[in-house]
């Protein structure tokens, strides 16, 4: 879902446009600002895809705001509202890419068409087949493979700056070994039929190339497919941003949070792929990369909900990172561990059958005990590492002689692994329910404050679109509708207290002006607040549906 910000210094125009576009079937997250400065504050907190702004405003006009937009969100579209006497502004605006202007006298249909055109352009930009092809032609495949092998090794064994500098130069890696680095982990899941191993690798490469086209404007990055088929990004601010500039990494982190959302949307639209992305909040020295990578995987596993199209930011402080674990399992047993780690139950069980069926058919095979312990260690390691011992008996796992046959022993292994997959899904659902309960409690306690998706995303550390989808999934109602229901219930309760003025009631549920509160109350009840209060004083006068 795209985000549109409406900016005008006249409140009645801004609120009117919010109501008009809110009533259209455009699938937009709408935000408003009553000045360029207020708009800039929002733009510094979250990604915005489309800005609809008055061009002539006091203090910060539309063209100055446009400069900030292009600096923070280069792919954002802009539609300016202009008057006939603002030709100089218009002339300067039309010299810029991704900018349209509409005369105020042309009316709402013209404005709505301009917004629709901008949305079509945004959607077209997400269809990235050409971008993927161009990136593949531009990158040397052997160089990509060599860099991938190198980073997979680096993720498990730290190197000195001198070693990194020499390796980076030889492998043409664009990162600076003397500067800190940000880490991100992306878990991929195809929509539709299950992919083969080769298909998953091809899909991961497509996402890698796609992400590069989005990230290259503001960052320098390298991406590698790890041994589990997930993507790891190592990212630094672009070399054009001086190392001494204050907030250099903080600005880059904000850019990444918004841009990875667009990457996820592009993956879904063009590749039929959902992603769950976990982004490290701190810039780390290269010596901390192996432990940070391991912690990213740990935090990705304990995500809230199913993770589809999630961008989660987490702390990767060196003192809290889990120790790097040995995952160098051989051949198919390594793939089996990867399926268990990633929650791919069908693939795990299929490979389990491929490994065990031939051995069990060969009675007395000397390989059977080795195979059993190899798989048992994979399951036991997973149980111990994630503290899930209550779901499987470690003694029975490592004592195959306790069973009457090897078939029965392998069946127990299979049942133990299946129980882990069930627990994982149950844990995701429980954590999702817990977070939604916290959000609901927060909403009730802060009705007078800003309850926009952006504000709630800041409070609960999820990107706005994922938080919105998770809330709808758990509560069965849109977050905005839930907030409106809380506010109207509280407003009715407060209107029953005669000592409070109508304006005071509105302020207590988050409406700064009496006009805004009155519009909201009439929309929800068909009565003005004052009329409702008058009727409330007359027993039996209110209809049941208005109370």
Residue 451: CATH number of its domain: 1.10.10.60
| 165 and 300 belong to one structural domain | yes
76-86 pLDDT tens trace: 999 998 875 66
| 18 and 89 belong to one structural domain | yes
Contacts 24+ apart (CB under 8 A), 335-338: 335/197, 336/375, 336/378, 337/378, 337/381, 337/382, 338/227, 338/228, 338/229
| Gap between the Cα atoms of 119 and 38, Å rounded | 23
Nearest to 252 by CA among 222, 278, 283, 276: 283
CB 230 within 8 A of CB 187: yes
Q: Has residue 485 got a pLDDT over 80? A: yes
Q: Where in the sequence is the domain holding 389, given as residue range(s)?
A: 331-425
Return the DSSP state at 196.
P
Please state, in angstroms and as integers, the Cα–Cα distance from residue 188 to each residue in 133, 248, 299, 352, 527, following that order: 20, 29, 16, 22, 50
CB 153 within 8 A of CB 230: no
Give the residue, 42 or 83, on which the prediction is more confident.
Answer: 42
Work out the average pLDDT over 240-260. 88
* Structure confidence at residue 391 (pLDDT): 56
| Gap between the Cα atoms of 465 and 312, Å rounded | 11
**Final residue of a domain: which of 126, 155, 181?**
126
Nearest to 230 by CA among 207, 246, 210, 251: 207
| 272 and 394 belong to one structural domain | no
Is 325 domain-assigned? no
Work out the average pLDDT over 488-501. 92
* Structure confidence at residue 184 (pLDDT): 96
| 387 and 264 belong to one structural domain | no
Is 437 domain-assigned? no
CB 304 within 8 A of CB 431: yes
| 69 and 145 belong to one structural domain | no
* Structure confidence at residue 368 (pLDDT): 85
| 538 and 390 belong to one structural domain | no
**Final residue of a domain: which of 320, 347, 381?**
320
| Gap between the Cα atoms of 296 and 292, Å rounded | 6
With a pLDDT cut of 90, the percent of the chain lying above it is 38
Work out the average pLDDT over 292-315. 86
Q: Is 323 exposed, middle or buried (0-12, 13-18, 19+ CB in 10 A)?
A: exposed
Find the range with the poorest average confidence among 91-100, 213-222, 417-426. 91-100
Return the DSSP state at 287.
G
Q: Has residue 493 got a pLDDT over 90? A: yes
* Structure confidence at residue 546 (pLDDT): 44
How many of the other CB atoms lie within 10 Å of CB of 208? Answer: 23
CB 476 within 8 A of CB 509: no
Average predicted confidence (pLDDT) for the chain? 84
Work out the average pLDDT over 252-271. 91
Q: Has residue 454 got a pLDDT over 60? A: yes
Return the bridge partners of 78, or none: 51, 99
* DSSP conformation letters of 382-437: HHHHTT-GGGS-HHHHT-GGGSSSHHHHHHHHHHHHHHHHHHHHHHHHHHHHHHHH
Element (H, E) at 26: none
Name the most confidently modeled range: 24-38, 121-135, 143-157, 528-542. 24-38
User: The domain that contains 9 carries what CATH number?
Assistant: 3.40.50.2300
Sorting pLDDT into bands at 50, 70 and 90, what band is 319?
A: very low
Look at the chain and report how many structural domains it folds into.
4
Return the DSSP state at 462.
B
**Final residue of a domain: which of 320, 355, 390?**
320
| Gap between the Cα atoms of 190 and 200, Å rounded | 8
Sorting pLDDT into bands at 50, 70 and 90, what band is 428?
A: confident
Q: Has residue 122 got a pLDDT over 60? A: yes
Work out the average pLDDT over 321-336. 51
| Gap between the Cα atoms of 106 and 83, Å rounded | 10
* Structure confidence at residue 83 (pLDDT): 76
Sorting pLDDT into bands at 50, 70 and 90, what band is 183?
A: very high
Nearest to 235 by CA among 174, 292, 159: 174
| 336 and 364 belong to one structural domain | yes
163-172 pLDDT tens trace: 999 999 988 8
Name the most confidently modeled range: 16-30, 297-311, 331-345. 16-30
Runs of H (alpha helix) within 80-194:
87-93, 107-126, 129-138, 141-154, 161-171
C-alpha neighbours within 13 Å on the C-beta side of residue 196: 3
Find the range with the poorest average confidence among 211-215, 462-466, 538-542. 538-542
Find the range with the poorest average confidence among 79-93, 191-205, 288-302, 305-319. 79-93
Is 431 domain-assigned? no
* Structure confidence at residue 138 (pLDDT): 55
């Amino acid at each position: 879902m795209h985000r549109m910000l409406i900016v005008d210094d006249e409140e009645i125009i801004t609120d009117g446009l919010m109501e008009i576009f809110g009533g259209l079937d455009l699938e937009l997250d709408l935000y408003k600002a009553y000045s360029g400065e207020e708009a800039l504050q929002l733009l510094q907190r979250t990604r915005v895809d489309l800005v609809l702004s008055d061009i002539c405003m006091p203090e910060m006009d539309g063209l100055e705001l446009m400069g900030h937009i292009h600096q923070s969100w280069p792919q954002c579209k802009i539609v300016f509202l202009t008057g006939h006497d603002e030709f100089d502004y218009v002339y300067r605006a039309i010299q810029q890419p991704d900018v349209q202007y509409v005369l105020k006298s042309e009316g709402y249909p013209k404005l709505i068409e301009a917004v629709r055109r901008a949305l079509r352009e945004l959607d077209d930009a997400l269809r990235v087949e050409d971008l993927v092809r161009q990136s593949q032609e531009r990158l040397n495949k052997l160089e990509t493979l060599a860099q991938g092998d190198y980073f997979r090794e680096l993720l498990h064994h730290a190197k000195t700056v001198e070693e990194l500098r020499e390796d980076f130069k030889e492998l043409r890696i664009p990162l600076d070994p003397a500067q800190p680095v940000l880490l991100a982990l992306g878990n991929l899941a195809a929509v539709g039929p299950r992919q083969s191993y080769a298909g998953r690798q091809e899909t991961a490469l497509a996402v890698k190339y796609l992400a590069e086209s989005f990230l290259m404007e503001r960052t320098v990055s390298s991406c590698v497919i790890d041994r589990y088929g997930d993507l790891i990004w190592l990212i630094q601010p672009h070399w054009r941003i001086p190392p001494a500039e204050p907030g250099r990494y903080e600005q880059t982190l904000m850019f990444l949070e918004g841009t990875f959302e667009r990457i996820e949307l592009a993956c879904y639209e063009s590749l039929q792929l959902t992603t769950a992305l976990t982004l490290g909040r701190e810039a780390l020295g290269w010596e901390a990369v192996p432990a940070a990578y391991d912690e990213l995987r740990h935090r990705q596993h304990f995500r809230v909900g199913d993770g589809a199209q999630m961008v989660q930011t987490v702390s990767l402080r060196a003192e809290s990172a889990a120790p790097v674990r040995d995952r160098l399992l051989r051949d198919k047993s390594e793939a089996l561990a990867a399926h268990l780690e990633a929650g791919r139950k069908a693939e795990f069980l299929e490979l389990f059958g491929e490994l065990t069926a031939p051995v069990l058919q060969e009675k007395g095979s000397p390989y059977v005990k080795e195979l059993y312990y190899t798989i048992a260690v994979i399951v036991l390691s997973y149980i111990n590492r994630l503290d899930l011992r209550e779901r499987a008996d470690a003694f029975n796992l490592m004592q195959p002689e306790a069973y009457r046959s090897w078939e029965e022993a392998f069946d127990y292994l299979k049942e133990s692994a299946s129980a882990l997959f069930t627990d994982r899904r149950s844990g995701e659902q429980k954590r999702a329910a817990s977070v939604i309960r916290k959000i609901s409690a927060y909403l009730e306690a802060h009705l007078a404050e800003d309850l926009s998706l952006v504000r709630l995303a800041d409070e609960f550390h999820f990107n706005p679109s994922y938080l919105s989808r998770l809330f709808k999934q758990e509560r069965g109602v849109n977050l905005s509708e839930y907030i409106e229901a809380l506010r109207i219930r509280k407003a009715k309760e407060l209107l029953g207290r005669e000592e409070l003025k109508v304006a005071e009631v509105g302020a207590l549920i988050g409406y700064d002006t009496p006009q805004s509160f009155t519009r909201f109350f009439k929309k929800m009840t068909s009565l003005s607040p004052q009329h409702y209060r008058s009727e409330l004083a007359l027993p039996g006068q209110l209809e049941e549906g208005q109370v």
